[in-house]
Amino acid sequence: MPDFVYKALVKVIDLYTRIRDRVNPEWSIRNSPRIREWKLMAYTYSRSPIGLVGGSLVLLFAIIAIIGPALAWQPYWEYKVVENPDLWLSPPCFPPSCSGFPLLGTDEWGRDVFAMIFYGVRISFVISLLIVLIGAPVGIVLGLVAGYKGGVVDEILMRITDMFVAFPGLVLAIAFATVLPQRIRGLLEANVQLRDFLLFLFGLRPEEYGQLASLLSVLLALVIVWWPIYARTVRGSVLSIREQVFVEAARSIGLSTWKILVRHILPNVLSPIIVMMTFDLATAALLSASLSFLGLGPQDPVPELGFMISKAGQYFPERSWHIVVFDGIVLLLIAFGWNLLGDSLRDVLDPKTRRSIEVRLRAKKAGKGGKSD
């Protein structure tokens, strides 16, 4: 398994190198040290058991998120309990005792819980990605500017950041998630193309654009409270890096502030930020489900995992334990996968760890060479 993963990652790196060479001839020659470093990262990751487990879980849920709604054998908008009242919160039915009832049981609408999970994973996975991919860049840009510019710019940006940090994040998210849906709904009604794209992104029908507004309100509410931690982290790193010799050299040859930030400072603060983003993907999935659990997200018939657990709580544990357990396990595994992957990336992106692995590899090769002689 480790060798297979390593070879697969090396092929991806080689493919990217060939593409860059076609666009920019001899790019691989000029960047050969960087390419070797990437391959060493791939080797480090392939030798990390927790990284392989975490990466496998993340890959599994990513595949389910992409094709899950197409694989789901039951539409989420069909209420089967109307046709067959026996499907109301039916318990799990494991072979060979099943007699036409779903494997993981049904919810209060008679829908197959297993099929609904395919829709729910798509929603949770996409919303967590969007929260981090929108919130983190905002914080990174503000942190870069504040740390590099200093003075009045730094004071203004950091005091705004402190205002958001001082207020409890979950309470602030609840406040924004409460007031945003109506405004977002108006925006979606005025922009049909944007609405259709977002509906496709979350795997929902056009009829659910009203529920999409609630889903987006959760997304934006968490983005608003997400960026400050990135701004403070990046700003602290930039304060030390901006005094380094290579930054002074870039200034002396007349590079613009933007080029110095993007080409010289950002690459030096990016490694811990990538690890931080990986951990935050787990937190974002759980927090978005928490807001939906509180009733601030989409409502029926959208099968959002947090909302499904909230509804099941009315009949827990007598009739709906299976919904709470199975949907909860899915959320747990999503967060668990991201956390394991983040733990592994912390070692992969650490130069000291990579150097020690490189030394061991050279010693191993030298030992084999000595024996062959």
Q: How many domains does the chain have?
A: 1
Amino acid 96: pLDDT? 66
Residue at 54 is within a domain = no
**Residue 321 tokens, joined:** 């334990």
In a domain, 200, yes or no: yes
Domain for residue 251, yes or no?
A: yes
Residue 155 included in any domain? yes
Structure tokens at 344: 């592994």
Half-sphere exposure of 318 (CA within 13 A, CB side): 3
> Which pLDDT band holds residue 121 (cuts at 50, 70, 90)?
very high
Query: For 310-367, how does the pLDDT look when each residue is reduced to its tens digit (9 = 90+)?
Result: 999 888 888 889 999 999 999 999 999 999 999 999 888 887 777 777 777 777 777 7
Model pLDDT for residues 1-48, shown as the tens digit of each residue: 778 889 999 999 999 999 999 999 889 998 898 898 898 899 889 888
Find out whether the peptide bond into 96 is cis, omega within 30 degrees of 0: yes
Which pairs with CB-CB distance under 8 Å and at least 24 residues apart come from 8-15?
A: 9/39, 9/42, 9/45, 9/46, 10/39, 10/42, 13/38, 13/39, 13/42
Please check whether residue 6 lies inside any domain of the structure: no
On whether residue 20 sits in a domain, the answer given is no
For residue 43, with 0-12 CB atoms within 10 Å meaning exposed, 13-18 middle and 19 or more buried, which class applies? Answer: buried
- CA–CA distance, 115 with 75 (Å, rounded to integer): 8
The CATH number that applies at residue 270 is 1.10.3720.10
Q: What mean pLDDT comes out for the span 209-218? A: 89
- Global pTM? 0.89
**Model pLDDT, residue 371:** 52
Q: How many angstroms from the chain centroid is the CA of residue 188? A: 24
pLDDT band at 100 (very low <50, low <70, confident <90, very high): low
Domain span at residue 309 reads: 75-344
- Whether 46 is covered by a domain: the verdict is no
